[in-house]
Amino acid sequence: MATIDIIIGSTLGGAEYVAEHLETILQNASHQTTLHYQPDFAQLSAKRQNDHLWLIVTSTHGAGQVPDNLAPFTHALAQESHLSGLRYGIVAIGDSNYDTFCAAGRQIDELLEILAAQRIGERLEIDVADGELPEDSAENWLETWLPLIDKS
Ligand SMILES: Cc1cc2nc3c(=O)[nH]c(=O)nc-3n(C[C@H](O)[C@H](O)[C@H](O)COP(=O)(O)O)c2cc1C
């Protein structure tokens, strides 16, 4: 069983819905989860341990910007010097009609990589323009992500 902090970046509720959907699946699989609608970086980074993972689910807004609710978290992340030992997964949601497709998720993933955090699996990029239900794409990805938690 893992303890997973689900960190949400959402403006219109789409990414929030995907995060809540993933939380239900994780809880059904007996993992402990907490949803963070207004993620507090200091609090989240203080309790990071090996059995503690972050699952970041964020859309992109503006011209490639992080949603407002995730901006303080992202700002604090950019000030951090290292996050070694942290394991995370990331689901980026965007629209391929924008040049800045999934830029927020990509930016956070890059920051975490620079800080030596360990990404579990590949970053999922959901394109809301492709007609698939975002929660279905996320659910399929989670099926491949979950077994990796114990292996890495
Ligand atoms: C004003 C606006 C700006 C957007 N900018 C981007 C963008 O720069 N890159 C991108 O990939 N998607 C962009 N999107 C698409 C959103 O990321 C997408 O609709 C997403 O599902 C919204 O999720 P949310 O409801 O959690 O905010 C934009 C959407 C809106 C309404």
pLDDT at residue number 38: 98
pLDDT at residue number 50: 59
pTM greater than 0.95 (yes/no)? yes
pLDDT at residue number 46: 84
Burial of 80 (0-12, 13-18, 19+ CB in 10 A): middle
Rounded CA separation 100/112 (Å): 19
pLDDT at residue number 49: 66
> Phi, psi at residue 104, to the nearest 5°?
-65, -50
Is the alpha carbon torsion for 119, 151, 53, 141 positive or negative? positive
**Residues with C-beta less than 6 Å from any ligand 1 atom:** 10-16, 59-64, 67, 93-95, 98, 100-103, 128
- Let me know the angle formed at the C-alpha of 1 by 35 and 50, rounded to the nearest 5 degrees: 80
In whole angstroms, what separates CA 19 from the centre of its chain? 8
C-alpha of residue 61 to centroid of ligand 1, in Å: 5
pLDDT at residue number 145: 97
Residue nearest to atom 6 of ligand 1 (CA): 61
Rounded CA separation 118/63 (Å): 28
pLDDT at residue number 150: 81
**How confident is the model over 52-65, as pLDDT tens digits?**
899 999 999 999 99
> For residue 64, which atom of ligand 1 is closest to its CA?
8
Reported residue count of the chain is 152
Rounded CA separation 147/145 (Å): 6
Give 78's Cβ-side CA count (13 Å radius).
Answer: 10
Q: Which residues of the chain have pLDDT under 50?
A: none
pLDDT at residue number 52: 87
